[in-house]
Amino acid sequence: MKNSQEKLYNLINLEEISGGSDDFIREMIKLFVTQAKNTISGLNRAFDQQDLNEIRNLAHQIKPSIDNLRIDVLSPVIREVEQLAEEGGALAQLSPLIMETNTVLEAVLEQLDQELKNRTS
């Protein structure tokens, strides 16, 4: 039975490294939530300031977390953001990618919020 909204993430990596510790998984989710919120606001700010270096740094920093939570839909996108910013890519190319990154991260944040509630109860 699938949820009405399919999960955009998979906690299998966290479950493997946690040794089944719910506390560990909750902490890792909370860390990701904080990082993702910072990334969303940071990407928006950096884009507005046309700061390609900061865009590249933010993409680079969140990439391992996206991989760790298996947010597969975002994996290629964040890599493209990082690559374009590193190459001094046109902001017109970056704009839709950053919007997609933010939209997916916001959806994941909502799902993880529910995940945390489910794991607490």
**Mind listing the pLDDT tens digit for each residue in 103-120?**
999 999 999 999 999 988
In this predicted structure, what is the pLDDT of residue 27?
A: 94
Whole-structure pTM value: 0.90
pLDDT at 1 over 60: no
In a domain, 58, yes or no: yes
Whether residue 11 is contained in a domain is answered as: no
pLDDT at 55: 97
User: Would 2 be classed as within a structural domain?
Assistant: no
Distance CA 120, CA 22 (A): 9
User: In this structure, is residue 14 part of a structural domain?
Assistant: no
| 2 pLDDT more than 50 | no
Alpha-carbon gap, residue 29 to 11, rounded angstroms: 9
Count other C-beta atoms under 10 Å from residue 75's C-beta: 13
- The answer to whether the CB of 78 falls within 8 A of the CB of 62 is yes
Whole-angstrom distance, CA of residue 112 vs CA of residue 60: 22
Q: Which domain holds residue 52?
A: 21-120
Give 89's pLDDT tier (boundaries 50, 70, 90): confident
Specify if 1 maps to a domain. Answer: no
Mean pLDDT of the chain: 93
Which CATH number characterizes residue 73's domain? 1.20.120
Q: How many domains does the chain have?
A: 1
